[in-house]
Structure 1
Amino acid sequence: MNTIRNLKSAFVTGATGLLGNNLVRELVTRGFAVKALVRSPAKAQQQFAGLPGVELVLGDMADVPAFASALQGCDVVFHTAAFFRDNYKGGSHWPALKRINVDGTQQLIEHAYRAGIRCFIQTSSIAVLNGEPGTPIDETCLRKLADADDYYRSKILADQAVLAFLTQHPDLHASLVLPGWMWGPADIGPTSSGQFVNDVLLGKLPGLVPGSFSVVDARDVAKAHIAAAEHGQRGERYLAAGRHMTMRELVPLLGRIAGVKTPTRDLPLPLLFILAAVQELYARISGKPVLLSLATVRLMRKEAGRSHFNHAKSERELKLTFRPLEQTVADTIAWYRSHGWLKAAANSTQ
């Protein structure tokens, strides 16, 4: 139970993403040599300029064989890359979800094993779990494929691919880390959380949408990944979901920390369905991305109250802890302000 793996070099997919870049920084701090898989050299230079110990590898999870040779010499793969956000921008994205999230994961673990790597950490998601609203959900509460939207289904199948490969290769260690809705600094994408922060602070949120979330700091999720690699148990899932929050709690918290006014009225679900339908129609005509998709509204309705998670296993086996959410929100806002994203909001600061 107390196995400590001596790992010195890491390969990180999705390295410029919110989780990936914070994981790279944490690994460097701990003395790891890091190979960082990136799709955009310009974005990578922006994200990692001046950070020692990082070798950039240009590549894409849609074509794993093209970068597979770079896996040589690494002790562990941290697979954080995934196709996610576009799935909630209208239309059907299953071919891309399967190619990148499912087939890409399968190919990555195969090539990693051929390269001599014997430790693989899969970034899963709370999406693979399900439970009754308001009840604590742990790693045993697996979601059925029939109850999954396309993104959720892709994450379930990706996890299954990792675990199936594990059963065929007894000398390989693999664990799965299940993050919640990740927030944190250096979110240059931005991800959905970073976009949400910007929308709220720039006054673009017309009202409070229904739903609840499990909010977690990406830096804490990064530490959970490293702990899973160094002493996690083979084939086990570890929750790193964070703190349960409703939108009615989260938006005012953002406003208080940022010093800006935030909306107080609720937007009813039927209105959101209408707005999303109009958005998708406009998107098909104009070619512009939607702000709110039908897939997002359906997800809000379906997952309402299903964001209470029990971290006992991760706390026990990974010694996982979470920093205060207020610190995460403050650090996220501070990063955007210091990088010039929130100039319009400065005029509203109290």
Structure 2
Amino acid sequence: MADIHTLPLGDRERALVTGATGLLGSNIVRLLLDRGQEVVAFVRDLDRARTLLPADEPRLRLVQGDITAPASYRGVLHEVDEVFHTAAYFREYFQDPSLTGPLEAVNVRATGDLLRASAEAGVPVFVHTSSINTLALRGAGHPADETTPAPDRFLRLSESECYPSSKVRAERVVDDLVAAGNTGATRSVVVLPGWMWGPGDAGPTSAGRLFLDVARGSVRAVPRLSNYVVDARDVARACVAAARVGRHSRYVVAGSKVPLPELTGAVAARTGGRQPRPVPAGLAMAAAGLMELQAKLSGTEPTATRTAVGVLREGDRRHISSKLAERDLGVGPRPVEDTIGAMASWYREHGMLAGVEKAGRATTG
């Protein structure tokens, strides 16, 4: 795998990272700090940010605000050379699917507001994080890439119905602003990652939830499905490279297509948890429905939902090419074992595996 630290990316004085305590945002923050840059981390909770980011680093400045409130970030845009927009809302897999308001407010409208404000402030480059789920399905002989349109079912929506549709609508907002000449001299780039795994997943995201549940031995089975898995550190490197040396306005960084049993098996091997047994997708869907019912009765969040299994089913049919990003940005996928090992180390360092690994060993014993 090529490493962009070896590429002549040039220097920037200061960057703004939204969603800076999230999986991707925190990895961008650390990468930029490692490169000797100053970083403005835009966060909702300062106390949480101080525990998840190197708050004692003099080149890091924490700014508290709300991505849906432009007044909370406008003041810092005049101080930065680039904006990395990673803040997003994606919890709909674990809640009432009718609650789509935050998807539209955070993922769509806030993206347009931030890009407009960045252009007004004269920020040279704006990098927006999207998703490979905005790409229509393509066969193995003609894999989806940067030129692939969105799925037909998302093209005529007037509001977001799910996370992928919100990302389609957000990309459209970016494209419309550029086409209308409302972005001035600000160059916009969209990066489309696959299913992100990696260190720094404090949320946790769906990947982190699955990792921790496998570690504690509470996942008995997983569907025989595959999905594109990418290390968040590689996506962070791609975002920085796209801002510095990218020649295109859209880059797919899908990672590698990995069978879910192989992925969870790697987690179990690293943490001592029970290795889930592979089962047909239909059985996994039925089990997810039962988990949703149990979670509703107990007031907790389910390990899996029918919506999430549906996303995995669609991912199993995907064929995607990341060749443009590999060629232009010098970033290719690292081994899954590297990603899982880094996650295990990060969770241990942050005290999130102590009780979990004990429970996992008890379950498998």
TM-score, reference length from structure 2: 0.86
Q: Residue 50 of structure 1 corresponds to which residue in structure 2? A: 56
Q: Residue 27 of structure 2 corresponds to which residue in structure 1? A: 22
Aligned-partner SS, 2:217 = coil
Distance 1:302 1:323 in 2: 23
RMSD across aligned C-alpha pairs, in angstroms?
2.5
Following superposition of structure 1 onto structure 2, how do residues 73-88 of structure 1 map, counting pairs within 5 Å? 73-88=79-94
Choose from 57, 72, 78 the match for 2:78.
72
Q: Residue 338 of structure 2 corresponds to which residue in structure 1? A: 327
Give the gaps of 5 or more residues in structure 1.
Answer: none
Q: Which moved more, 1:151-160 or 1:127-136?
A: 127-136
Distance 2:265 2:305 in 1: 24
Q: Residue 238 of structure 1 corresponds to which residue in structure 2? A: 251
| Alpha carbons of structure 1 residues 63 and 6: separation in structure 2 relative to 1, 3 Å | same
Matched, 1:99 2:105: yes
Q: Conserved in 2, the CA contact under 8 Å of 1:8 and 1:31?
A: no
Distance 2:357 2:125 in 1: 45
Distance 1:282 1:104 in 2: 35
State the shift of 1:176 in Å. 0.9
Identity %: 36
Distance 1:35 1:212 in 2: 37
Following superposition of structure 1 onto structure 2, how do residues 1-350 of structure 1 map, counting pairs within 5 Å? 7-48=12-53, 49-132=55-138, 134=140, 136-147=143-154, 150-167=162-179, 168=181, 169=183, 171-234=185-248, 236-266=249-279, 268-269=281-282, 271-280=283-292, 287-306=299-318, 308-343=319-354, 344-346=356-358, 348=361
Q: Which moved more, 1:35-44 or 1:318-327?
A: 318-327
State the shift of 1:323 in Å. 2.5
| Alpha carbons of structure 1 residues 161 and 287: separation in structure 2 relative to 1, 3 Å | same
| AA in 2 matched with 1:77 | V
| AA in 2 matched with 1:333 | A
Aligned-partner SS, 2:42 = strand
State the shift of 1:321 in Å. 2.6
| Alpha carbons of structure 1 residues 265 and 181: separation in structure 2 relative to 1, 3 Å | closer
State the shift of 1:265 in Å. 4.2
Q: Which moved more, 1:239-248 or 1:135-144?
A: 135-144
Distance 1:293 1:259 in 2: 25
Structure 1 stretches of 4+ moved >6 Å: 2-5
Q: Conserved in 1, the CA contact under 8 Å of 2:220 and 2:277?
A: no
Q: Which moved more, 1:24-33 or 1:247-256?
A: 247-256
Give the gaps of 5 or more residues in structure 2.
Answer: 1-6, 156-160
| Alpha carbons of structure 1 residues 345 and 129: separation in structure 2 relative to 1, 3 Å | same
- How many positions carry a matched residue from both structures? 346
Q: Conserved in 2, the CA contact under 8 Å of 1:133 and 1:304?
A: no
